[in-house]
Structure 1
Amino acid sequence: MATRWTLVLVLLGTIVFINVGHTFAAGDPDSDPPLAPLGPVPVPPDNPITAEKTELGKLLFFDPKLTGDASLSCASCHRPKQGWGYADPISRGYPGTIHWRNSQTVVNAGYHGKLFWQGNSKSLEAQARTANKGGVAGNGEDDVMEERLRQTPKYREMFRKVFGDLEPQLMNAWRAIATFERAVLSQTDTPLDRYLQGDKTALSPPALEGLKLFTGKANCIECHNGALLSDEKYYNLGVPRAEAWSTSGMHQITFRFEQYAKGVHENLASIMGSAT
């Protein structure tokens, strides 16, 4: 009998643990990670955060030297006054092009393991490099961007101090930008974080009602879960394209060029809707 009750208690303990640790939606057989406060931002061992590197990264983030014609910077599409993102439906592109997507905010981007809308960059360092070199974004060439840094006395001094470079190395520019984003743009002191850490006064009554819906009847937590409020998966939600897709020749030409560059040669008309 003692053995039986021990088994029952273990099973009950397991059930309680699962219910506390995960959220089950009605009719949903799988479990979703519970909401949780954000901890310290992950930092790669080969790119530790320092005050000097953060300052260098901030300068580079706002400097147009790291693009093709030196007319754009990271901040051109990730605007501080627009939540470090881009407020328009479609982001601006490199001069002579138009982007077909919206620039995501870089706030808390350091927590994500997948960056860009298709998740093709796995780190902030890789994202910075890809964005500044992308044909409809920065369109920069490695040798040109690096030479601009080397011809700037302040950068020569700062790269030598931060990285020990005799002359600025472009790969270290991406490391500095990533450090700035991790150190400055990681926000963990939000009302939701404080509430999840135990401060039950952090959320207003309407916000608490919203949280109840979010994790319950509305089932937002099915996709927006965990500390990131995201399962980092990709879904086709059927959101219609912006009107410019079918009315702007620049949008169509830019998109066609990108698709051809990726090896897509057929059915572009169907991809672009009414565009011809």
Structure 2
Amino acid sequence: MRFLITTAILTSLASVSSAADLPNPILPSDFPTLDTETVALGRQLFFDPVLSGNDNIACATCHHPALGTGDAMSLSIGEGGLGLGRMREVVNGNAPKARIPRNAPALFNLGAREFSTMFHDGRVQLNREAMYGIAMPEGRTLERPLTSALAAQNILPILSHDEMAGHPGENSIADAIDAEEIHGPNGAWQQITAKVEAIEEYRMAFDWIIGQDTPLHITDIGNALSQFITYEFRATDSPFDQYLNGKETAMTPEQLAGMEIFYGKGNCSSCHSGKFQTDHGFHAIGLPQFGPGKDDAYADAGRGMISGIDADKYRFRTPSLRNVTLSAPYGHNGAYTDLRAMVRHHLDPFEGLGNYDRRQAALHELGEGAKDWEPMDNLAEVLRIAMAAEIEPVALTEGEIDQLMAFLSALEDPISRNGRLGVPDRVPSDLPLDPISDPS
């Protein structure tokens, strides 16, 4: 039996090596050098609700390590909610205006040097022609340099009314955002920074990093968060990584067979390429649309809304597949809670869109006012999504799908289930941490 298994491994190895272009192993140089003190400080900030306008939401609320660095929901509830994941409840008297329009993406490996584009639509992106080399959304131009696109991404959710800032009339930060007062000494970024700097424990921690006489700036907060995310959510020791580094027995025969499909007839690697299984590009894959969307018609044209190019409509950034088994739901709006169903959609997006099972969506109950399914009830919009889809159908047997699923499981780094540092016991603001009540 041992001989047969070994033979199967070697046979599959030879087949894949000759038929496909596997990525090179990930190296330490693929990640930036980190500072221990900054990582520790970023950890506190990541879990601290002090960055929100109403002191009630942390970065971790929608990107919790216990929930695969997401929140296990298709579309999150930010302001107006209490709790984590599926257990998050709408607070009486403070009901959210709407769901967050897009799925909270996984954070795994976003700190790697090659990740130069952030958000589903790429509205934050390294660009030499932009201010300080990073393209930002309109009205959110950087005031100072940042260390990475990830650091720039970190200082945007705190400006969203529905995500972290709260709504006009609830706090001065939300009022400033509503008035588009983002920059300067009285702007929203500085008000958030002042809240952090007023906490002695934070100011002392920053003293070690930026100096005692240096005023704190929002970019310092963004950089600290980036260092923590880079350290905590690095996932580079999966069976696939071990295999690429020469350990031939790291993957099972079923996983090796799935790898051959992934890099061969399945055509998965045409988009999910490279060391982290992403080309960092934008593609339209015909996903069903629901939720508030990004325009008045509940639709979401994705990259097209940023670039202004018709051909970019309904395109979204290719996500990395590292730890994909931990990071459901899937898609720009979390259309699929089941990974196998998401794979099936890729194999035939037209079938997936036309016969989408709405029970796949994980949505909190918001009452009759939520018009979540308007786009899917609009035949013209469904046709536009279908016509934009770029994926050609691929025929795989059930057995081949099983093998492909096995390979996807080989992309999971065991350390990612618990993280490296984990959740702190407290944060410097002494505000309550999110209860870890839904690890599902």
* 1:121 equivalent in structure 2: 124
User: Measured at CA, do residues 165 and 118 of structure 1 come closer, stay the same or move farther in structure 2, by a change above 3 Å?
Assistant: farther
Partner letter of residue 106 of structure 2?
Answer: T
**Runs of 5+ consecutive residues of structure 1 not aligned to the other structure:** 1-18, 24-32, 246-250, 265-270
Q: Is the 8 A contact 1:36 1:193 kept in 2?
A: no
* 1:181 equivalent in structure 2: 229
Q: Deviations over 1:218-246 (max 9, x none)?
A: 1211111110101111111111123xx3x
Of 196, 205, 208 in structure 2, the residue corresponding to residue 158 of structure 1 is: 205
Partner letter of residue 101 of structure 2?
Answer: W
Q: How far apart, CA to CA, are the structure 2 residues paired with 1:107 and 1:132?
A: 20
* 1:256 equivalent in structure 2: 296
| 1:239 corresponds to 2:287 | yes
User: Measured at CA, do residues 274 and 219 of structure 1 come closer, stay the same or move farther in structure 2, by a change above 3 Å?
Assistant: closer
More deviation, 159-168/230-239: 159-168
* 2:156 equivalent in structure 1: 130
Q: Give how far 1:50 is off.
A: 0.8
Partner letter of residue 142 of structure 1?
Answer: W
| 1:149 corresponds to 2:196 | yes
Q: Give how far 1:174 is off.
A: 0.6
Q: CA RMSD in A?
A: 2.9
User: Measured at CA, do residues 20 and 192 of structure 1 come closer, stay the same or move farther in structure 2, by a change above 3 Å?
Assistant: closer
Partner letter of residue 109 of structure 2?
Answer: N
* 2:100 equivalent in structure 1: 99
Q: Deviations over 1:5-57 (max 9, x none)?
A: xxxxxxxxxxxxxx97994xxxxxxxxx63232222432xxxx5211000000
User: Measured at CA, do residues 239 and 174 of structure 1 come closer, stay the same or move farther in structure 2, by a change above 3 Å?
Assistant: same
* 2:35 equivalent in structure 1: 50
* 1:216 equivalent in structure 2: 264
Q: How far apart, CA to CA, are the structure 2 residues paired with 1:22 and 1:173?
A: 46
* 1:5 equivalent in structure 2: none
More deviation, 165-174/141-150: 165-174
Higher helix share: 1
Q: Deviations over 1:134-158 (max 9, x none)?
A: 3332235213211211210100100
**Runs of 5+ consecutive residues of structure 2 not aligned to the other structure:** 1-15, 81-95, 126-148, 166-172, 174-187, 300-304, 309-373, 379-440
User: Measured at CA, do residues 181 and 22 of structure 1 come closer, stay the same or move farther in structure 2, by a change above 3 Å?
Assistant: farther
Q: Give how far 1:132 is off.
A: 1.9
Q: Give how far 1:179 is off.
A: 0.6
* 1:12 equivalent in structure 2: none
Q: Is the 8 A contact 1:86 1:105 kept in 2?
A: no
Q: How far apart, CA to CA, are the structure 2 residues paired with 1:22 and 1:154?
A: 56
Of 60, 66, 89 in structure 1, the residue corresponding to residue 51 of structure 2 is: 66
Give the TM-score normalised by structure 1: 0.74
Q: Give how far 1:102 is off.
A: 0.5
SS in 1 for 2:278: coil
Could you say which structure has the larger radius of gyration? 1
Of 236, 242, 245 in structure 2, the residue corresponding to residue 194 of structure 1 is: 242
Q: Is the 8 A contact 1:85 1:103 kept in 2?
A: yes
User: Measured at CA, do residues 22 and 175 of structure 1 come closer, stay the same or move farther in structure 2, by a change above 3 Å?
Assistant: farther
* 1:207 equivalent in structure 2: 255
* 1:36 equivalent in structure 2: 24
User: Measured at CA, do residues 257 and 169 of structure 1 come closer, stay the same or move farther in structure 2, by a change above 3 Å?
Assistant: farther
Q: Give how far 1:190 is off.
A: 1.1
Aligned identity (percent) is: 26
Partner letter of residue 104 of structure 1?
Answer: P
* 1:109 equivalent in structure 2: 110
Give the TM-score normalised by structure 2: 0.48
Q: Is the 8 A contact 2:190 2:217 kept in 1?
A: no
* 1:226 equivalent in structure 2: 274
Q: How far apart, CA to CA, are the structure 2 residues paired with 1:258 and 1:273?
A: 10
Q: How far apart, CA to CA, are the structure 2 residues paired with 1:225 and 1:219?
A: 10
